[in-house]
């Protein structure tokens, strides 16, 4: 991929990440806490919220691994939209994980 195409892809990813995180905030977060769902899931499962998030992210990671397996076995190729969705899901979960970890550190220091 040339530099121009890469930079365009990067800018599109950053824009989409902002859009999705803002839209999902209404669906998955409380009015007070962006990380509410992971904290509540952690309490329900009696695990740390970070583990709850990673558990939820596993589904998306498996989807990405399945795509990688398929393209490397020449079985089928996903659409660009599917790749963008699956990679975007993991990018968003990693950003949310970063927030949980930083909040955890801030609260314990």
The continuous run of DSSP H or E covering 7 comes out as: helix 3-28
Q: Determine the pLDDT at residue 75.
A: 77
Is residue 49 within 8 Å of 42, Cβ to Cβ? yes
Q: Determine the pLDDT at residue 10.
A: 97
51 Cβ partners below 8 Å, 6+ apart? 42, 45
How confident is residue 100, by pLDDT bands cut at 50, 70 and 90? very high
30-89: pLDDT as tens digits: 778 999 999 999 999 999 999 999 999 999 999 999 999 999 998 788 899 999 999 999
Sign of CA dihedral 28, 31, 34, 35: negative
Is residue 80 within 8 Å of 102, Cβ to Cβ? no
Q: Which residue has the higher pLDDT, 19 or 27?
A: 19
- pTM confidence score: 0.88
Domain boundaries defined on the chain: 3-108
């Amino acid at each position: 991929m040339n530099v121009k195409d890469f930079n365009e892809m990067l800018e599109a990813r950053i824009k989409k990440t902002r859009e999705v995180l803002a839209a999902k905030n209404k669906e998955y977060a409380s009015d007070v806490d962006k990380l509410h769902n992971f904290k509540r899931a952690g309490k329900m499962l009696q695990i740390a919220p970070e583990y709850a998030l990673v558990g939820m992210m596993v589904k998306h990671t498996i989807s990405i691994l399945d795509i990688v397996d398929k393209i490397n076995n020449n079985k089928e190729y996903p659409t660009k939209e599917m790749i963008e969705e699956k990679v975007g899901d993991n990018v968003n979960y990693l950003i949310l994980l970063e927030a949980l970890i930083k909040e955890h550190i801030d609260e314990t220091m």
